[in-house]
Amino acid sequence: WEPGEPGEPGWAQPGGALGGRGLLALAVASGAAVWATWAVLLMPGFRRVPLRLQVPYQPSSPRQVANTLALLRGRAGKTVDLGSGDGRLVLEAYKQGLRPALGYELNPWLLCLANYRAWKAGYHGKVSFLKKDLWKVNLSDCHNVIVFLAPSVKPPLATKLLAELPDDARVVAGRYPFPSWTPSSSLGQGLDQVWAYDIKEVRREAQGSAQQSQV
């Protein structure tokens, strides 16, 4: 038997579509590639993080980046990205004058990618990407905070931000809003929507709700 002869099984006939076994093998190979990418590149940053607080890496779209920085335009002070991934939001923040700009990320592969992107953009040594657990860093000197994290992370993170950030701080959340906070402003639609929260206003609202509950 030669490949492609009628009546015989094969991966594909010359110039034709993949056969059944070919499609199955392609699916298996694709699945293996995805698993390998996860196991080698993305999993290391998750091993020390509780399951409910794990956030899969998902790069921000150009529109998400633009909307985020639009809500921080004209501001000053230390800017941090919590779970900075490949660093694109930190680099854009620095480019638009938000300095110092730094990102916190546990995954060592993503940290390498972020530092490479900084070097390629000519910002090596001007921005910082630190391998630190965002739950353990002190944010009391941060005035601009970027948060592109999963919904399950938002409630405990809201508590941390309210406890540590100064009154003049602004938090910009992408993809998912903080469920218990009222945004000061918002920009974009669908997956590109981002929300800005001014901590002074969030604290005032929280204090008002607490007083009402005591009455």
> pLDDT tens digits for 127-157?
999 999 999 999 999 999 999 999 999 999 9
Higher pLDDT, 109 or 4: 109
What is 39-98 written as a DSSP string? IIIIGGGGTTS-GGG-----PPPHHHHHHHHHTTTT--S-EEEET-TTSHHHHHHHHTT-
Does residue 70 lie in a domain region?
yes
Does residue 113 lie in a domain region?
yes
* Mean pLDDT (the chain, rounded): 82
| Chain segment 12-25, per-residue pLDDT in tens | 444 445 566 655 55
Domain that holds residue 132: 62-212
Q: Is 8 exposed, middle or buried (0-12, 13-18, 19+ CB in 10 A)?
A: exposed
Does residue 12 lie in a domain region?
no
What's the predicted TM-score (pTM) here? 0.74
Domain count, the chain: 1
Read off the DSSP letter of residue 186. Answer: E
Q: What is the CATH number of the domain that holds 71?
A: 3.40.50.150
